[in-house]
Structures are given as structure tokens and as C-alpha cells.
């Protein structure tokens, strides 16, 4: 990860519970104290989802803690936030979300050129058996990498 893409928060459970089909980069409309709180790293992506309403992508369930020194100008921590996407991207996401079993989730929050960005994923839920299969595959790959590294070391 480069300095331009300093990660703020990652929704790690999403990569376990969902199969990510597509990823999009999106801006997010924030209020003044929210930006300061995000810069301090007080963002929680767990349990979020995105809905397309009236031609706009709205992010629900993301918690941005109130800014410590924000006094009366502080924001509501769990308010819905508008995602900044092009019209054709919103249409593409809407079509993808309407397909059976797909959902839109914020996967990662990061900085890019001093702007807060959200990585939006078009995801499909995994069954318990699929999760086990993925874990087995990752474990096998990790063990194979260790074996290759041990052979190279000698």
C-alpha cells in the first residue's frame, strides 16, 4: 500500500462472509467534524450496507465517532451518508444489486490525495460450507508458501 492510499478502516468480516464480485472507488459526503474524526481513525465499517435511492447511493451503518473537540457542531455518528459516484456507476451498481443474492457493501475506507474514499463492493453471501472451503484453501496455500520458503532458505 502506497502513501497515497493510507487505509483508515477495513471491513475484514466482509471478506469472510461475502464473495466480492466487483469493486468501485467512491467519494463520500462528510460534514466538518466527521472529516476530523475520520483523520483520527475513528471509523467502524462493520455491519454497513449501501442502497440506491432516488438515483443516489446512500451508505448506512457506518459509525464515525463524534469529534472530541467538536462541541455543539458534532454530527450524528450513524447518520446515512451519500456516496459520490457518477450516474452511470450508480446505474451499474443498481443493476448489480438487483440480481438475486447480491448486496452492496463498503469494504474499505482510505485516503487518496487527502480525500476520504470508500471502496464499494458488489458482494454475494457465502454459505457456511463455502467459508470452510475458502479457509482450507487459504491454509493449504499458506503451508505451500512456507514449504517453498523453507526449501529456498537451505
How many CB atoms are located within 10 Å of the residue 109 CB? Answer: 23
pLDDT at 2: 47
Phi and psi, residue 32, nearest 5°: -55, -55
Is the pLDDT at 118 greater than 80? The verdict is yes
Strands 18-28 and 49-53: unpaired
Mean pLDDT computed over every residue of the chain: 91
pTM, rounded to two decimals: 0.80
Cell of 113: 490525495
Comparing 69 with 118, the larger pLDDT belongs to 118
State the Cα–Cα distance between residues 123 and 132, nearest whole angstrom. 18
Cβ partners under 8 Å of residue 11, min gap 6: 45, 46, 48, 105, 106, 107, 108
**pLDDT tens-digit profile of 4-52?**
577 899 999 998 889 999 999 999 999 888 999 999 999 999 999 999 9
**Confidence band (pLDDT; 50, 70, 90) for 132?**
confident
What domains can you pick out in the chain, each with its CATH number? Answer: 3-126 (2.40.280.10)
* Mean pLDDT of the 90-102 span: 93
Amino acid at each position: 500500500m502506497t502513501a497515497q492510499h493510507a487505509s483508515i478502516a477495513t471491513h475484514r468480516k466482509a471478506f469472510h462472509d461475502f464473495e466480492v464480485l466487483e469493486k468501485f472507488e467512491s467519494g463520500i459526503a462528510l460534514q466538518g467534524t466527521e472529516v476530523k474524526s475520520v483523520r483520527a481513525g475513528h471509523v467502524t465499517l462493520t455491519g454497513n450496507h449501501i442502497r440506491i435511492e432516488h438515483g443516489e447511493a446512500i451508505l448506512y451503518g457506518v459509525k464515525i465517532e463524534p469529534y472530541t473537540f467538536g462541541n455543539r457542531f458534532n454530527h450524528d455518528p450513524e447518520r446515512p451518508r451519500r456516496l459520490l459516484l457518477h450516474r452511470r456507476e450508480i446505474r451499474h451498481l443498481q443493476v448489480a444489486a438487483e440480481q438475486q443474492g447480491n448486496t452492496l457493501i463498503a469494504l474499505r475506507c482510505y485516503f487518496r490525495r487527502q480525500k476520504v474514499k470508500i471502496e464499494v463492493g458488489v458482494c454475494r453471501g457465502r454459505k457456511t460450507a463455502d467459508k470452510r472451503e475458502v479457509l482450507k484453501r487459504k491454509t493449504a496455500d499458506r503451508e505451500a508458501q512456507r514449504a517453498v520458503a523453507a526449501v529456498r532458505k537451505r
